Structure 1
Amino acid sequence: MKKLATLFAATAVLAAAGMAQARDLGPDEALKLRDAGTIQSFEKLNAAALAKHPGGAINETELEEEYGRYIYQVELRDAQSVQWDLELDATSGQILKDHQDD
């Protein structure tokens, strides 16, 4: 019984740690990172996302820290009104994910 309780506790700790790996960054923290040169400017990141979908319009953006990496998430609608979700490395501007939203 003691082994089962220990296993359950360890599983709960690992699950909690996994959930805490991504966190949303507020506007003040995002601006500090940009001003420090840690991440690209939001204009450059938005331009990189729009370059993948010319004629598109950005609906929403969000900056997260995931596993020590800054990820800029962009939701946009292209010229054909198709919704896209993109993720960019906020430090380099590299597009990590680009998929059509369901």
Structure 2
Amino acid sequence: MAGHDHDEIRRLRGTGQILSLETIIANHRTRHPGGQLLEAGLESEHGRYVYDLKFLGDDGVVREFEYDARTGALWHSEHEDSKE
């Protein structure tokens, strides 16, 4: 996950510094049903951990969502228009 090894991620989860990726995805799907997960990564941005998720929507648009890894709050989202 974007420069973080599995042991470090387990440590961060074990100490409560981040939520599990499974939790973030489940919460995301509650708010944004449908679509296919294309990519998931854990990054450190501006002094906090962020899960970066990319989904291909049922409408064919790729959307990127960034969630605060500690709280699960949506931090940022954007979409890429398909250009055919």
Instruction: Flag whether TM exceeds 0.5 (same fold).
Output: yes
Under a length normalisation based on structure 1, what TM-score does the superposition of the two structures give? Answer: 0.68
Query: 1:67 deviation in Å?
Result: 2.6
Corresponding pairs, count:
80
Match of 1:35 among 2, 8, 14: 14
Under a length normalisation based on structure 2, what TM-score does the superposition of the two structures give? Answer: 0.80
- The answer for unaligned runs of 5 or more in structure 1 is 1-22
- The answer for unaligned runs of 5 or more in structure 2 is none
Contact 1:49 1:74 in 2 (8 A): no
Distance in 2 (alpha carbons) for counterparts of 1:64 and 1:91: 12
Percent identity for Structure 1 against Structure 2: 34
Query: 1:101 deviation in Å?
Result: 2.2
Structure ranking higher on relative contact order (CA contacts 8 Å, 6+ apart): 2
Runs of 4+ with >6 A deviation: none
Contact 1:54 1:78 in 2 (8 A): no
* 2:42 counterpart of 1:63: yes
Q: Which has the higher strand share?
A: 2
